[in-house]
Amino acid sequence: MTSDLDPAIAARLKRSPDGLIPAIAQQYDTGEVLMLGWMDDEALHRTLTTGRCTYWSRSRREYWVKGDTSGHVQHVRSVALDCDADTLLVKVDQVGAACHTGARTCFDADVLPLGQ
Amino acid sequence: MTSDLDPAIAARLKRSPDGLIPAIAQQYDTGEVLMLGWMDDEALHRTLTTGRCTYWSRSRREYWVKGDTSGHVQHVRSVALDCDADTLLVKVDQVGAACHTGARTCFDADVLPLGQ
């Protein structure tokens, strides 16, 4: 779809074949990695301009403002593009749990065994 | 390709259409997000069993042991799968710079403007 994203930014993005870029959400002060979501140009535009993290849901095929349903809002503190312009790091202030399971982060529950 | 990854783990992974999973590398003590790479089953197996982060290079189409060329090794401290089993968080002890540009992380150089 068309997007209001700044064309100077859009021109630099390297998207996956489905037009998306992975976005890592990190708690700005503690450094916790909270979750990984996906953004297209418009989701990035909304994230940069509204102060609220907006993702593209690959399963529901719709925009998804984090916290609109759960109340677990992500207030945007900064957004950085990586050296290859194919990954975003979004530093946020996470209200409540980032994970839909109620865990603080999506990575809390399932640590894999090393050395096997 | 075939992999020696534990079948119990392999059965749970939700891979992208190209068979890969994004892997976030985070410095284990400072919390810095260093980079995002991609792993297939065998790269994950090698990461879990060798103590060194191994990725799949999408551009070169080969396995890539971080630091083999640069010396900027990532020693694996823990590996966690997220709640959807489609993203990995690898906590590492990064030797030197994580980024090929010489920056500590791949997200240091390009902060996007907010509110435009």
Q: Which residues of B touch A80 (CB under 8 A)?
A: 107-108, 110-112
Instruction: State the count of interchain CB pairs (< 8 A) between A and B.
Output: 115
B31 to A30: CB separation less than 8 angstroms, yes or no: yes
- d(CA B9, CA A93) in angstroms, rounded, equals 32
Enter the ipTM. Answer: 0.96
| pTM of the entire predicted model | 0.96
Per-residue pLDDT tens over the stretch A35-60: 999 999 999 999 999 999 999 999 99
- Report which secondary-structure segment, H or E, holds B45: helix B41-50
Per-residue pLDDT tens digits for B31-85: 999 999 999 999 999 999 999 999 999 999 999 999 999 999 999 999 999 999 9
CATH number, domain A7-94, options 1.10.1200.10, 3.10.20.810, 3.10.20.30, 3.40.50.261 = 3.10.20.810
- Domain spans in chain B, listed from the N-terminal domain onward: 7-94
By the CB < 8 Å criterion, does B22 face chain A? Answer: yes
The DSSP result for A47-103, as a single string, is: HHHHSB-EEEETTTTEEEETTTTTS--EEEEEEEE-TTSS-EEEEEEE-S-SSTTS-
